[in-house]
Structure 1
Amino acid sequence: MPIRIVANPPLERPTEASALVRGMDARVIWIDLLNPTPEERRQVERLFGIDLPTLEDMKEIETTSRLYAEDGARFMTAPILSQVESSLPQKTEISFILVGQALITIRETNLKSFGAVMAQCDRRGAASRDQVLLSLLDAIIDRQADLLERVAKEIDTISQNIFQREIPNRPSENVLRDTLCELGRNGDLIAREQESLVALSRLVQYAGQTDFDAHERDPGVALYPRLKPVARDLHSLTEFAGFLSNKVNFLLDATLGLIQIEQSSIVKIFTVAAVIFLPPTLVASVYGMNFAH
């Protein structure tokens, strides 16, 4: 994929790795690498004097592998859910690198949040790397919030179906099985979303720290107060995700309770049938015995 560059004031965006070095100067504030080739990675590494994390490095789950400072740059990686409109959102990792006055992003998935921020920069421009970082975080969080809102609506629908007072027919085994599957799918989505929100919260906290190595090229002291609203949004979404998780567990218990009631009803029918047919069965058993006289 072509390397996309945002600068202030704007400059012509190079489309090849070999043109990157020729087109770079102090105006560049954002370099977006989408599935970069080895040559593109080497060009950026030589330009900034840093080692970019590989896609395998970005998938590491240790905090020290996701959040660290090295060679005067700050590296931050977080997993998020992409394709939130689909029934099966996928997890993908994004790396944010603050080096000097520039922001470098590395990703392997085409995300709508990045496309929206890039289009906004094309229309209005961007003042600094911090503004771009904040815009990206806001766009990502908005997409994660949309996913939680959709899951909440689905859970409300399931809850109404389970607890409706007037039921024309008893829920069949297939209906209850489908309900369990829907609750399980939404519970899995919420768990993965909680993982993403926790990682983003740690990323925001790390990005706002000012006690880094003195050799860091740009400590970004002014970034901390601007990240507070982002941290509050993440905190509220984390609490909401926890509420949804508890609700899913409650509905799972309720559905299993309905299944047990249905099973008890079936056992009751067989018990009554056994009592009704006990006398004829007893008589037939007596007369069916092989008596000598």
Structure 2
Amino acid sequence: MAVMAAMTKVLVAGDDGPARPLEGLDALREALANGLRLWVDLDTAADAHEAEEVLADVFRFHPLTVEDALTPQPNPPKLDEHDHYIFIVFHALGAYEPFGEVATQEVCLYLGQRYVVSCHHGPLPALEGIRQRCLEDGLPLRRGPEWLLHAILDRLVDDYLPCIDDMEDALDRLEAEALAGVRAGLLERVLRLRGNALRLRRLLVPQRELLARLSRPEFPALVRPEANIYFRDIYDHLVRTEYLIEALRDLTDSALNTYLSVVSNRLNEVMKVLTAVATIFLPLTLISGIYGMNFAHRVWPPFESGWGFPAVVGTMAALGIGMLLFFRRRGWL
């Protein structure tokens, strides 16, 4: 009897009562042959060989879908229809650190008439709450595979909102720092937030279309009509999340413009001071240049006089002080 690894979790549910776990590939084959409601959760990073055996040999899924489920490289979100099941690629959000890069985790889902198979590369904490609920009262697996699929997708979509809220809070702090004149690493953090918003939008658009298909009676053999409206609810959540991301993109552009405006204003202040200093020294340089020419005759004040040099220096100092006072009175300095 083949024994499944600890990272392969199988639940079976009847018409009433809580779900119960199954052990062994033979028990899985028997439950599948008997038409029991199944949820098979596979961690492909823990045991790729067993995951391939379950997907290819037990369920006999299409090789291209098995390849997508087993590869660690991310695939774009999509929904593919096959003869007796649909294959979904969805992206869950990982833990988000302020000003860090958004980490996503691909989740591949198979929906059949009597089963749901979920595949992910590494642990996925978002599914643990659903699994515990199934073990306690059998729901949502007991109602049908489409309800379990709804619970999984709803949980994954709900994780987007806390991440967006954290990004908005981080953006508010960046705007405050920009107005306060803090410049160290500010531009890098603003651009990272903007990149995160763009990445989330690229994920949400195809996932929104995916859920739009599930909310329509496009798969009547797999999704009962009474379940369509619940997928529509998830679709509405994604639309609202997309609006929030668009607003976040606009806010990042605003924060970037605020930062650039502050930098430009500071540069203008510096240039104003340097221009005033250069303007003050311009006539002084002219006087010193004329008086320093190598002509001994017809130069006033005369070189030989004892008061000539102090008189020129005094004139230059008075002229410089006068120009400085004039600039300060006009508010240019």
Shorter-chain TM-score bucket reads 0.7 to 0.9
Counterpart-to-counterpart distance in 2, 1:231 and 1:29: 25
- 1:173-252 aligned at under 5 Å gives the runs 175-212=182-219, 218=222, 220-252=224-256
Counterpart-to-counterpart distance in 1, 2:236 and 2:26: 42
For 2:95, which of 64, 83, 86 is the aligned residue?
Answer: 83
Is the 8 Å Cα contact of residues 155 and 248 (structure 1) preserved in structure 2? yes
Aligned match of 2:7: 2
Is the 8 Å Cα contact of residues 50 and 71 (structure 1) preserved in structure 2? no
CA shift for structure 1 position 162: 4.1
Is the 8 Å Cα contact of residues 146 and 223 (structure 2) preserved in structure 1? no
Counterpart-to-counterpart distance in 2, 1:259 and 1:183: 14
CA shift for structure 1 position 85: 4.9
Q: Per-residue displacement from partner, 1:207-242 (whole Å, max 9, x unpaired)?
A: 234335xxx963544431221211111111111111
- 1:123-202 aligned at under 5 Å gives the runs 123-126=136-139, 127=142, 128-163=144-179, 171=181, 175-202=182-209
Counterpart-to-counterpart distance in 1, 2:237 and 2:256: 29
Q: Per-residue displacement from partner, 1:58-103 (whole Å, max 9, x unpaired)?
A: 7344x7xx22112321111123332235633312221111122111
Is the 8 Å Cα contact of residues 102 and 129 (structure 1) preserved in structure 2? yes
Aligned match of 1:21: 29
Is the 8 Å Cα contact of residues 93 and 156 (structure 2) preserved in structure 1? no
Which consecutive unaligned segments of at least 5 residues does structure 1 have?
none
For 2:263, which of 259, 263, 266 is the aligned residue?
Answer: 259
Is 39-48 or 251-260 further displaced after alignment?
39-48
Is the 8 Å Cα contact of residues 134 and 227 (structure 1) preserved in structure 2? yes
**Bigger relative contact order, structure 1 or 2, given CA contacts below 8 A and separation 6+?**
1
Counterpart-to-counterpart distance in 1, 2:237 and 2:88: 19
CA shift for structure 1 position 196: 2.5
The 1:100–1:279 alpha-carbon spacing in structure 2 relative to 1, beyond 3 Å, is: same
Paired letter, 1:151: M
Q: What SS does structure 1 have at the residue aligned with 2:90?
A: strand
Structure of greater Rg: 2
Aligned: 1:122 with 2:135: yes
Aligned: 1:31 with 2:31: no
Is the 8 Å Cα contact of residues 43 and 120 (structure 2) preserved in structure 1? yes
Aligned match of 1:274: 278
Is the 8 Å Cα contact of residues 77 and 203 (structure 1) preserved in structure 2? no
CA shift for structure 1 position 267: 0.8
The 1:231–1:211 alpha-carbon spacing in structure 2 relative to 1, beyond 3 Å, is: closer
Paired letter, 1:229: D
Q: Percent identity between the aligned chains? A: 18
Paired letter, 2:35: A
Counterpart-to-counterpart distance in 1, 2:128 and 2:97: 16
Counterpart-to-counterpart distance in 2, 1:42 and 1:185: 41
Counterpart-to-counterpart distance in 1, 2:200 and 2:287: 65
The 1:27–1:279 alpha-carbon spacing in structure 2 relative to 1, beyond 3 Å, is: same
Paired letter, 2:108: S
Paired letter, 2:48: T
Is the 8 Å Cα contact of residues 21 and 43 (structure 1) preserved in structure 2? no
Aligned: 1:59 with 2:74: yes
CA shift for structure 1 position 271: 0.4
The 1:224–1:98 alpha-carbon spacing in structure 2 relative to 1, beyond 3 Å, is: same
Number of aligned residue pairs: give it.
277
Q: What SS does structure 1 have at the residue aligned with 2:228?
A: helix
Is the 8 Å Cα contact of residues 201 and 231 (structure 1) preserved in structure 2? yes
